Amino acid sequence: MRGLILKDFYNMLKNIGPTLVTAVCVGFLYLMAQGNPSLFVIGFAVAGGGICSTCLRMDETAGWTKFELTAPVSRTTVVVEKYVLLLLLTAIGLIVGGAISYVAGTVTGTLDISQFIMYVSVAFSISLISGSLIIFCLFKFGMIKADFFTVLCYVVPVGIFVAALIVVKKLGLNIMVGSPYMAITYFFPLLALVVGLLTAVATVAVYHKKQF
């Protein structure tokens, strides 16, 4: 598995430029919309998770997928490596984006530690859920057919989260205190881990049945 991860990191480094630009742009959009530097962490975490799907697309384009099956690795290992890579890239995105958000918040005097922790949890959750679903769709449908589902995999988790926030606000609750804050900061990441685990199991099952 280590060799597979190193291969993906090597491919990622050759194509990381556009992803970083996208992450910065998303961060600035959040900043302009909300005026909160802590939102940078969401852009970088989601972009970091998105790089994993780029690695899968590069594998299929290069014909690596079929060659990979002749290597001394099982199909289970191939799938699990992608989910491990997703976790690593999400963690890197959280560290880089979190550092930028923290510094920007400190410099502008807008840093709120509780809010910052909540945004880190949201970033981790959205990145893991969307990334896990994208990996499943790419293994299930292939690079071309999965394009439509890839968009949905980003839109659906974000849409559900935004809808939940709207409901909370309509109920007159403050997301920064009590149960809403606890649910977003602690329950949402646990839910993301469960979704990631279930999709990994489903992806393994799909890949074992796939014929080339």
Mean pLDDT of the chain: 77
Q: With DSSP H G I counted as helix, E B as strand and the rest as coil, what are the percentages for the chain, rounded to 5?
A: 85, 0, 15
Cα torsion 84, 38, 32, 169: sign: positive
What's the pLDDT tens digit per position in 36-69?
Answer: 666 677 777 777 667 777 777 776 666 666 666 6
Full-model pTM? 0.80
What's the pLDDT tens digit per position in 150-175?
Answer: 777 777 777 777 777 777 777 777 77
